Amino acid sequence: MTARATVTALRERVLATVSRHVPAGARVALIDYPNHTNVGDSAIWLGEIEALRRLGAEVAYECEAHGHDARAVRRAIGPDGIVLLHGGGNFGDEWPEYQRLREGVIDAHRDHPVVVLPQTLRFNREENRARAAAALGAHPRLTILCRDARSAATARTVAPGATVELCPDAAFALGRRAGRRPPEAEPLWLTRTDAERRGARLMPPAGGRVIDWMEGEDGDLGAGPGERLFRALARNGGQRATRRPHVARAARPFVRSLHTRLARRRVQLGLDLVASAPVVVTDRLHAHILCLVAGVPHVLVDTGYGKLHAFVDAWTAGHPLLRLACGALEADAAVRDLAARHDALLPTPEAIHA
């Protein structure tokens, strides 16, 4: 199957699954805008917004992780609205601050349906699983969409009364996109530097281009002071304004504009980055997704807790643009195999360094 066909099929699967829980015309609150430097989270957010637009739902309220206000949510969506929690890979105790937010939102909105958009679930400690079960089990209308079968099994254990479904990552709702930079000669190793990585950072055996989403000029893929100003404006003034009844209606479009501008820029930077290489090696899930979206050959190495392999097994296994590897040496060999198969032959080391 071509990259275009794969992305289209997964986009339609996202739309079909979400539509079963968010009907056309619904007023929704979308909680946990990712106002930070991770390209993948911005891709998820834009995919969620696009899916809701295509399904005819109205996003009447949105906020960042710190900005949730239950009273403001109720005013915005009314008694018949739906509360949506941003998807990703932070359900569980890998990223405890986001799990605390999720449990707090679910507890605060027992009078509304709550839908957790596509997530990977992972608990390392039994006490954290038990706390999540207590919070989630008390909600009468909870839906958890899961990005892989293992996460779905965990969700059914933690929240046996919830509706649990498999759903691809929401970023696929963006459809096919292109990067704007021509490929350079060297492969790109786009590898994790954050807490989710297990062990040493994935690095090329013989040197090469290495970067993470959070690296680059100013530590942010080249984001300058203008973007940092907009991010601070959204985080501070915008979120405070949406909590105040007399200005919330006017503030919400302003906040939406800031959020959308930042997320679009970040995703385009990510697309430009993966398009700048003939082949990408990565241990990031959304580098894999953006490579499919942009049609870039890539090698995926799972250096974490199995999240990547579980996702591939569910949705993208066997794709001709993808190779799986168990480490840096195997990834390096797979790079050359992919390059040869896709007519993106790598130059010799002498030519690279000439």
pLDDT bucket at 4, cuts 50 / 70 / 90: confident
Strand order in the sheet with 188-190: 209-211, 188-190, 280-282, 298-301, 322-325
Q: Assign a CATH topology to domain 3-174.
A: Rossmann fold (3.40.50)
Q: Which helix (H) or strand (E) holds 60?
A: strand 58-64
Average pLDDT over residues 54-83: 93
Q: What separation in angstroms does the CA of 333 have from each of 55, 164, 275? A: 43, 39, 20
pTM for this prediction = 0.90
Both structure tokens of 284: 């990031």
Residue type, 303: T
DSSP secondary structure string for all residues of 269-289: HHHHHHHTSSSEEES-HHHHH
Q: What is the pLDDT of residue 213?
A: 86
In tens, the pLDDT along 143-168 reads 999 999 999 999 999 999 999 999 99
Cβ burial, residue 143 (10 Å; 0-12/13-18/19+): buried
Average pLDDT over residues 167-185: 86
Torsion angles phi and psi, residue 68, rounded to 5: -65, 130
Both structure tokens of 78: 């009314």
- Separation between Cα atoms, residue 289 and residue 46, nearest integer Å: 14
Domain chopping of the chain, boundaries: 3-174
Name the one residue in this structure whose structure tokens are 């805008």.
33
The answer, yes or no, to whether residue 259 has pLDDT greater than 90, is no
Name the 3-class secondary structure at 299. strand
On whether the CB atoms of residues 114 and 106 are closer than 8 A, the answer is yes
What percentage of the chain has pLDDT greater than the value 70? 85
Selected residue with higher pLDDT from 120 and 37: 120
